Amino acid sequence: MKIHEYQAKEILREHGVPVPQGEVANTLEEALEVAKRLMLGGATGVVVKAQIHAGGRGKGGGVKVARTLDEAETYASQILGMQLVTHQTGPSGQRVQRLLIEETAAIDRELYLGIVLDRAQSRLVFMASQAGGMEIEEVAAKDPDAIRKVSIDPAVGFQPYQARELAFALGLKPTQLAAAVKFMRGLYDVFVATDATLLEINPFITTKDDKLLALDCKLTFDDNAMFRQKGLKELRDLAEEDPLEVEASKFALNYIKLDGNIACMVNGAGLAMATMDIIQYAGGSPANFLDVGGGANQQQIENAFSILLSDKNVQAVFINIFGGILRVDTLAQGVVQAAKNLDVQVPIVLRLEGTNVEEGRQILKDSGLAFEVGDTMLDAAQKVVAAAARRTGISTGAAH
């Protein structure tokens, strides 16, 4: 689960990690009130920051430094409501519905700090780099030595000597060392306390008067830990998520939207992966990843169908099921029911194996509906790719 920068900074503040003074604003009026308060409190300027669940806002025009209240008003009215496009939002961008208004910081150096789980080592890794303010993925690709990493033994946690090692790698001054150790310790505490999967401070800055500040913060939580993080659950902002994915999560369906035109309905994540691969192999492109789960019932199949068909890009549906706990006849009944109830217009291709497969095939045949059934997974994939291509040809009128 992702949260906004202003929410992440609130959590940092609670754990004693220094962040700039600031407040979130939902309207232009609120933004101006906050700006006024900060200026009256002695700020020499304010930063107007778009709050969306994506990075790269600075380059996209979503972060502006204002020196006067007039400038703050200009920037706030420009950014609030804009469709902000960054390298992480996709070409259609994300609408800005909130702003974070903060006092400006007198930046001396822009650095990077991050904590991630290294799955290969089963340990958290704390990273530091002098190349802050840039895309860290680019730094990692071009100059991996510019990132210093320490791996944390879960039995003893993050140690002060490790924080000092990172502080030295960042080239911090001896006078900044104690504050840096405390700062990093605070980040580690946040990570553990919130069951995070990623915490990034980019940039982590030193100021002209030698202070340390988290100027930006990205914090992502482990969805599987939300059952014991009731307070954090409330930070979820559904407006930032894909509406179909939100709908699917209400039905406990594991759905992720992709940009192809062949919808997939599958039971099991491994089979979902294999299905996406074989669609690509047959020359097509998957519209989604949808796992109905091992124990899905008829209603769940119908829910899944309605989600798949709400995606306007879908030109064909590929149902690839291995009947285990979910028996093939149950699935077939669900599919027939859904196709009738939802008045499905796109072709449906199935590949069925497992428990009660013969009964399942019979149900499809008896339904009087036009399903195509593949003999093998590859055969079915080829059929669905061909079906989607035929429809795309029709809908675009591309005959030559």
Give catalytic residue positions: 112, 200
Position of minimal CB gap to Mn ion: 216
Q: Which of 234, 190, 163, 231 is nearest to 14 (CA)?
A: 190
Please state the closest distance from residue 73 (CB atom) to ligand GDP, in A. Answer: 18
Among 114, 203, 323, 374, binds ligand GDP (CB under 6 A): 203
Nearest CB to Mn ion, comparing residues 47 and 167: 47
Nearest CB to Mn ion, comparing residues 170 and 381: 170
CA dist 90 and 172 (Å) reads 37
CA dist 3 and 272 (Å) reads 28
Please state the closest distance from residue 57 (CB atom) to ligand GDP, in A. Answer: 3
- Whether the bond between 243 and the residue before it is cis, its omega within 30 degrees of 0, is no
CB atoms within 10 A of CB 131: 19
Please state the closest distance from residue 27 (CB atom) to ligand GDP, in A. Answer: 21
Count residues binding ligand GDP (CB under 6 A). 17
Using a 10 angstrom Cβ sphere, with 0-12 exposed, 13-18 middle and 19 or more buried, the burial of residue 146 is middle
Is 304 an interacting residue with respect to ligand GDP (CB under 6 A)?
no
Q: Could you give the string, one character per residue 205-234, with x where binding to ligand GDP holds by CB under 6 A and - elsewhere? A: ----------xx------------------
Q: Which of 323, 324, 341 is nearest to 332 (CA)?
A: 323
Is 55 an interacting residue with respect to ligand GDP (CB under 6 A)?
yes
CA dist 127 and 169 (Å) reads 10
Helices 298-310 and 243-250 pack at an angle, to 10 degrees, of 170
Using a 10 angstrom Cβ sphere, with 0-12 exposed, 13-18 middle and 19 or more buried, the burial of residue 295 is exposed
Please state the closest distance from residue 331 (CB atom) to ligand GDP, in A. Answer: 44
Of the CA atoms within 13 Å of residue 21, those in its CB half-sphere come to 15
CB atoms within 10 A of CB 375: 9
Among 94, 129, 202, 330, binds Mn ion (CB under 5 A): 202
CB atoms within 10 A of CB 138: 10
CA dist 169 and 152 (Å) reads 17
Q: Which of residues 203-262 bind Mn ion (CB under 5 A)?
A: 216
Please state the closest distance from residue 386 (CB atom) to ligand GDP, in A. Answer: 43
CA dist 271 and 224 (Å) reads 21
Is 329 an interacting residue with respect to Mn ion (CB under 5 A)?
no
Nearest CB to Mn ion, comparing residues 162 and 202: 202
State which H helix or E strand residue 371 sits in: strand 371-373
Q: Which of residues 105-134 bind ligand GDP (CB under 6 A)?
A: 105, 107, 110, 133
Please state the closest distance from residue 52 (CB atom) to ligand GDP, in A. Answer: 9
Is 291 an interacting residue with respect to Mn ion (CB under 5 A)?
no
CA distances from 170 to 12, 43, 260 (A): 21, 28, 43
Position of minimal CB gap to ligand GDP: 58
Whether 217 and 8 have beta carbons less than 8 Å apart is answered as: yes
Reduced to 3 states, what is the DSSP secondary structure of residue 37?
helix
Is 104 an interacting residue with respect to ligand GDP (CB under 6 A)?
yes
Q: Could you give the string, one character per residue 132-171, with x where binding to Mn ion holds by CB under 5 A and - elsewhere? A: ----------------------------------------
Is 201 an interacting residue with respect to ligand GDP (CB under 6 A)?
no
Helices 160-169 and 177-193 pack at an angle, to 10 degrees, of 120
Nearest CB to Mn ion, comparing residues 133 and 293: 133
Nearest CB to ligand GDP, comparing residues 239 and 269: 239
Please state the closest distance from residue 60 (CB atom) to ligand GDP, in A. Answer: 8
**Of 103-111, 122-130, 182-190, 292-300, which part binds ligand GDP (CB under 6 A)?**
103-111
Please state the closest distance from residue 49 (CB atom) to ligand GDP, in A. Answer: 6
Q: 342 is in the binding site of which of Mn ion, ligand GDP, none (Cβ under 5 to 8 A by kind)? A: none
Q: 274 is in the binding site of which of ligand GDP, Mn ion, none (Cβ under 5 to 8 A by kind)? A: none
Whether 345 and 311 have beta carbons less than 8 Å apart is answered as: no
Binding site for Mn ion (CB under 5 A): 202, 216
Binding site for ligand GDP (CB under 6 A): 47, 49, 55-58, 63, 65, 104-105, 107, 110, 133, 202-203, 215-216
